[in-house]
Structure 1
């Protein structure tokens, strides 16, 4: 009877389950079954997958703290993903669960949904698609919730997420309009209000409206109950205060993050410490407290993943205090952490470069600038600025080397003979001491290397096996019979054994020749005596050789250096001219390119003290005057008076007396250059040459100077020929290598000049003939007379034949008659011009 009852119960249970599985019947059992199954099974697992995906996203996402943080992290778009990047599978799994819940448990009967969990399923579907960057399908899911479930408790959440998608699609204005209605709705829950305010903040940030963004992120921070969001929103709040120039409010916001302690992620806490450090008052603040706080952070084991940030801030602290050695030490420690913050690495390299630049270590600075550029995006303004600075640094390195080298040579060359001997004697003593230390260090390193090699060899050959016996040598030859190569233990197959045996033999028997009766005592005595004599002889030879080497070393002789000093006045003058020009260029570069006014003033003051060539004095004083005006030095008045009184006709004096003069009559440097170039092209070469020389003096130190120098080269090519053209082009290429004109001059020297040098006169007779009259350029009366005669002749005889007045060089003009078709016609015309009384 009991068995029959159980059978009936089993059948009834299966019937009930079968009936409940139907999604087309609106019964209590059906609704309860599908609601509970979807809620506690499928949707639960889907929500777990979504939360897992979000956790992975927040853990792996690399925030850029150098910019205002976005309010939420998002996966990379497909086109932004690297080959080794993979999509987060948790979001896909969450979508699959949401779809499964809708497909298998939706009870859409007569146009009404009877399963109360379907709004949850569609919200989960929309969220998972959103984090897969599939915004349009996600938008459809949220719109479905708003359309089909207007009374759901998920309406506000769906509305906020819909506006998130609008912002992702670039519809910020539409999102702001809708979100304003949401945040002012009194029925909205606290967390939904926080989410709405946060996404409204993002919309304002995208539009650049930072004050409105600030107001909304405050609300989001206050209303959210999630600590991760509270810390992130607080950090964004501090960043916005910084952007709006409110450092005190920013400091309060960052301090609140620090006060959250373990409730905030460590990355926000450390970055908040870094932001507070940037606001530290290095002049009036308590540096001891600052150092104590940061040293404590550095010692905390939990902060190890963020040591790059902490060391960078310590370096900035020491940098501001002008303790550059400590600053560089911490910059290098930050670099050793090898984190993924590319801009932090670039900042470390850049700051080390700046320190070396101000220490006049320009080559080292250039290398660090190169490293900086490898870590910056080539599309940023900072990249372009550092690239320009690095290019200009090449000129600084070049001219600083010339200035220092020539300064040193000129200084020593100007000493008396006794002073020169003393100078180089001190130098040689220092050199010897340095060489001795270097030799000792080399010997020490060689000894260490020898000991390591010996230790390694002993380890390989003298290791013991488990039974206490020695293992076979690793370099033993293979044995016969095809046995294992290491099966032989023959003594002479081990180099270590051989070396050890030789050492033990000499220790016991001494050095003996390979002869009969080598063990006899008499032979040993004779052999010892011979060995001793031989050893003494070798030692004497070594000592003699060392003495010869020392005696032969020219670097230890005073005459070696004195013989290299210039003695010819012409050579010394050329070194001085080169040094003065380098100092002038450095003064201009420091002022114009680097804005290093103190350095520029020092170079120009040194130049003027060295009594340079006349052409450098006026532009140097004018540039120095401008620097004094910028830094507010009282020395400017004296320089200004000198320029006006000593050079009253100069362009610089006219500008100082009448500041508006430079802008009158279109007399900007570019306008002057363009007018002069047109004059040159129109054939007035000599006048253009005189003007270009004046412009080179007037615009010395100006950025347009290379243009005038290149124009001068072109003019000289016509006036003085190819050799002068080459010489002037070389000057432009060497002195302005990083300018467009310098590169053009270098290209002309490489291609055009060699082609011109290969040109030769072709002696073959052409189809046309010419008459050429050679006239001195200064013989203007003769030239005018000849031109008038030619005008009269050709007006009467043949209007088709023409003539021209061509400049050949700076002393000769060619009056050329063109258009003759035969030699006879040419000679006839020439004969007529010479003999006719009218001509």
Structure 2
């Protein structure tokens, strides 16, 4: 290398270095030049946004991979993320937010570029200079931040971010996507009306929405409607989503949802066809399998030959890879049988489905439910009850209409309980009425069955013992071969043992006497227990192989026989009512009432049974019978309310009118009570007592009258009037309130107790000497002035917002016809004062103060050192808010309000 070359390289290197330094220092976001824009557009993407977007993709993949679709339920439009999956993705989403924020912070250019003098601006130039942002990845960064916040379930932060985007940016691809994410966020928060506002705006501007967003928009609209259970309106949006989706796996999933929506909307042909399209795409074995199953479930037996479909399903049963899906295949075969009116075959398939279902509790529950529905439709309420009960015990509370099914099951339980009472008491009565020799012979036969059953159980136990020894020997050999692993850690042994158990016993519930397949031998025991449930538990316990064991529950005396008959009588009446009120099974109800009257002609339920029969015969259009029972009521019970109703159809309307009149009077009386107008309270009570003596509200008037004694300040008179009230209305609901007032009067007022034992909110002891030294002259005592109720809450120990919410609810429950203004005042960083305005005077405020303490709904969850409550005049309140010294006012309150 010669000298010239050396100096050339030397200066070229220095020049390159200096140029790079000038370039880098010139790329400030405060200057808007072409070089700056190019630099920040390149570096914002490759150095920051790209990495953040990669983290976002990794997080969403974790969330989606963790979600498992339940194909027996309507699939969600968007895969929901469990809390655990969200936690797993937190790191990725935080990194995405961090990178997005860094992109905005370090690369955003909002400065306007310098205009060249003398150059005329065309439309393109004007649009360029009017931009708010000159780096094209900044709006993408904001969108990345918002979406990451959404997946973290930080919805409020996401709303702020998306709202900023639609406010600040005009790029349709970004702006309209932010609108879609805003709608999705509000949907996740169940604020459907708000979500609908954004979606409606997008629909009106749909021509401006980029084609790439039409699919996501349609999905979001479908999601909103599905969550509102408006399946019919959701269908066209899912059709649009399918049409605008290119990825086959996504299209298959959306088609599956569309087919489910057609099912919900009873469009069976379209559902069948759409499930077929899912099968054709063949993207996911489980989805394809469930599509075929669903096709079988909605197959219309009347319109086509089901044999090819049944043949295919039976072929699927033989495929080893479908072992875990056999329950669904049998369920599909059951649906085919049901659609072809082969009810018994359908029941057999459904029960077989439940039997082979070992992992899918949802399917097991659905199979029991299908069998229960068939029995219910017959109707066969006993079998229906058994299978509804099994279904409800297995199905998840999230199952569609779970609460309705649970209510139906409970109604059936109640019905069958009464059927069991009738049958068991009838059996016990028949046995009790047998001649003693026949009765003893019957019992001896039962004892023989018990002895035989025990013999068989001993044989089984001996056989099990032999098998256990064999298994232990096999286990020892296997342990020697497999390193001595314990039985329950040895998968081969576990599987072998489980198979042997199921081969011998089938699926058995963990319970006593689980070996018994037929528990009929114990049926007499159950009847006996049913009859003698209330018997003295200290009575002698007999062996189940003695006659005395079975004789205990029999109604052998006149009194026990009479009690048994009363139980049957009541059960028939209950049964008839359940048929009518809970199942609308009018014919069964009629039969129940007629049987009751046949067996017990002088039953105490005769009048109500007559009236029910009159209405039931009218409903089934058997008018002659309806007239017959109407005549029975008028002739046998002429003075009853039922007779008055039949004689005067407006009778109950007139009673309701009177009831409304008394209710209106009670509201007025309660206002008089709050205003301390005891004279009017007494007048109204006396009027209602004399004119509407049968009114159910009379006890409420009486209580207000009694409490007026307290407003006069006479404690002894108040106690006496409350005790008299209790004697006059011992069974009224208001007795509990009267007891609470009497109990409260027997102890010190709560606020005085707290003042004596607790520490002041600001940490000072509430000792009398210290409080007395404070100058209280700033407060004026004026009992006739308008008053407020104050509840001072420690922000560290309680939630002021929660307390204010409870106060508002308390007012709605107890003072619904008075308009209170509930607000709050921040006393300091640590203390907030909840304020209830306003009361006419001290007396009214004091009534409210005491009712809050007695009810306990506001203060019940607060600890003694987390709050103080007072009443205060409007004038003193202004002083208190300015002074903010809780200690001063507490002392003033004690002297002027509590100790007077």
1:410 to 407, 429, 440: 429
Q: 1:660 to 1:242 in 2, by over 3 A?
A: farther
Structure 2 unmatched ranges of 5 or more: 114-128, 485-541, 662-684, 696-726, 736-900
Aligned length: 583
Partner residue, 2:66: 60
Instruction: Supply the distance in 1 between the matched residues of 2:307 and 2:55 (Cα, whole angstroms).
Output: 49
State whether structure 2 residue 582 is matched by structure 1 residue 593: yes
Relative to structure 1, is the Cα distance of residues 658 and 236 closer, same or farther in structure 2, using a 3 angstrom cutoff?
farther
Deviation (angstroms), 1:197: 3.1
Counterparts in 2 of 1:116 and 1:414: CA distance versus 1, 3 Å: closer
Q: What CA distance in whole angstroms lies between the structure 1 residues aligned with 2:390 and 2:135?
A: 66
Q: What secondary structure is seen at the aligned counterpart in 2 of 1:593?
A: helix
Q: Which residue of structure 2 lines up, in the alignment, with residue 649 of structure 1?
A: 635
Deviations 1:487-521 (A, max 9, x none): xxxxxxxxxxxxxxxxxxxxxxxxxxxxxxxxxxx
Cα offset, 1:222, TM superposition: 1.0
Q: Contact conserved, 1:98 with 1:122, CA < 8 A, in 2?
A: yes
Contact 1:584 1:603 in 2 (8 A): yes
CA contact (8 A) 1:238 1:254 kept: yes
Residue number in structure 2 paired with 1:734: none
Residue 456 of structure 2 is aligned to residue 437 of structure 1: yes
Question: Could you tell me which of 90, 94, 101 is aligned with 2:96?
Answer: 94
In the alignment, does 2:128 pair up with 1:128? no
Question: Secondary structure at 1:649's aligned position in 2?
Answer: helix
Q: Which moved more, 1:403-412 or 1:602-611?
A: 602-611
Bigger shift: residues 360-369 or 12-21 = 360-369
Q: In structure 2, what is the Cα distance between the partners aligned to 1:564 and 1:465? A: 58
**Residue equivalent to 2:281:** 260
- 1:217-228 to 2 correspondences below 5 Å: 217-228=238-249
Conservation of the 8 A alpha-carbon contact between 1:190 and 1:224? no
Superposed, which structure 2 residues align to 1:216-615 within 5 Å?
216-242=237-263, 244-262=265-283, 269=288, 272=291, 276=295, 279-281=298-300, 288=307, 291-292=310-311, 321-322=343-344, 323-324=346-347, 326-331=349-354, 333-334=356-357, 336-337=358-359, 358=380, 360=382, 368=390, 371=393, 375-376=396-397, 382-383=402-403, 386=406, 390=410, 393=413, 396-397=416-417, 399-412=418-431, 430-431=449-450, 433-449=452-468, 575-595=564-584, 600=589, 603-604=592-593, 607=596, 610=599, 613=602, 615=604
TM-score (norm 1): 0.53
Partners of 1:564 and 1:99 in 2: CA distance: 79
Residue by residue over 1:465-504, the C-alpha shift from the partner in whole angstroms, topping out at 9 and shown as x without a partner, is 99xxxx9xxxxxxxxxxxxxxxxxxxxxxxxxxxxxxxxx
- Equivalence for 1:178: 201
Shift of 1:179: 0.6
| Equivalence for 1:497 | none
Deviates more, 1:145-154 or 1:428-437: 145-154
In the alignment, what sits opposite 1:72?
Answer: 78
Measured against aligned partners, the alpha-carbon deviations of 1:515-560 in whole angstroms (never above 9, x if no partner) come to xxxxxxxxxxxxxxxxxxxxxxxxxxxxxxxxxxxxxx99789999
Q: Is the CA contact (8 Å cut-off) linking 1:21 and 1:34 kept in structure 2? A: no
- Match of 2:382, SS state, is coil
Partners of 2:610 and 2:629 within 8 A in 1: yes
- The CA distance in 2 between the partners of 1:28 and 1:606, in whole Å, is 98
Conserved? CA contact 1:75–1:133, under 8 Å: no
Q: 1:282 to 1:15 in 2, by over 3 A?
A: farther
* Change over 3 Å in CA distance of 1:556–1:133 after alignment to 2: closer
Deviation for aligned residue 1:601? 5.3
Q: For 2:651, which of 652, 665, 672 is the aligned residue?
A: 665
Unaligned runs of 5+ in 1: 472-552, 689-717, 719-724, 730-739, 745-839
Q: CA deviation at 1:408?
A: 1.7
CA contact under 8 A between 1:314 and 1:330: conserved in structure 2?
Answer: no
Tell me if the contact between 1:317 and 1:327 (Cα under 8 Å) persists in the aligned partners: no
CA RMSD of aligned residues (A): 5.9
Q: Tell me: CA distance 1:367–1:256, structure 2 relative to 1, closer, same or farther (3 Å).
A: closer
- For residue 184 of structure 1, give the secondary structure of its aligned residue in structure 2: helix
Separation in 1, partners of 2:167, 2:605: 82
Instruction: Determine the C-alpha separation between the residues in 1 that align with 2:207 and 2:482.
Output: 84
Task: Give 1:441 deviation, angstroms.
Answer: 1.7
Q: Aligned pair in 2 of structure 1 residues 417, 318: CA closer, same or farther (>3 Å)?
A: farther
CA–CA distance in 2 between the matches of 1:617 and 1:151?
79
Q: Contact 2:429–2:561 (CA<8 Å) still a contact in 1?
A: yes
Match of 1:715 in 2: none
Partner deviation per Cα, 1:327-348 (whole Å, 9 max, x = no partner)? 34433554x4267x7xx78767
Report 1:804-823 matches (<5 A): none
> 1:780 aligns to what?
none
SS of equivalent to 1:225:
coil
Any idea what the Cα deviations from partners look like across 1:759-788, whole Å, max 9, x if unmatched? xxxxxxxxxxxxxxxxxxxxxxxxxxxxxx
CA distance in 1, matches of 2:639, 2:313: 56
Match of 2:219 in 1: 198
Decide which moves more: 380-389 or 222-231.
380-389
In 2 relative to 1, CA 27–614 (structure 1 residues): closer, same or farther, beyond 3 Å? Answer: closer
1:44 aligned to 30, 43, 50, which one?
A: 50
SS across alignment from 2:255: helix
Over 3 Å counting, the alpha-carbon distance change for 1:337 and 1:42 in structure 2 is same
Match of 1:215 in 2: 236
Instruction: Give yes or no for contact 2:298–2:335 (8 Å, CA) kept in 1.
Output: no
Structure 1 residue 226: deviation in Å? 3.3
Structure showing greater Rg: 1
* Deviation, structure 1 residue 407: 1.7
Going from structure 1 to structure 2, the CA distance change for 1:674 and 1:306 (only over 3 Å counts) comes to farther
Cα distance in structure 2, aligned partners of 1:138 and 1:555 = 70
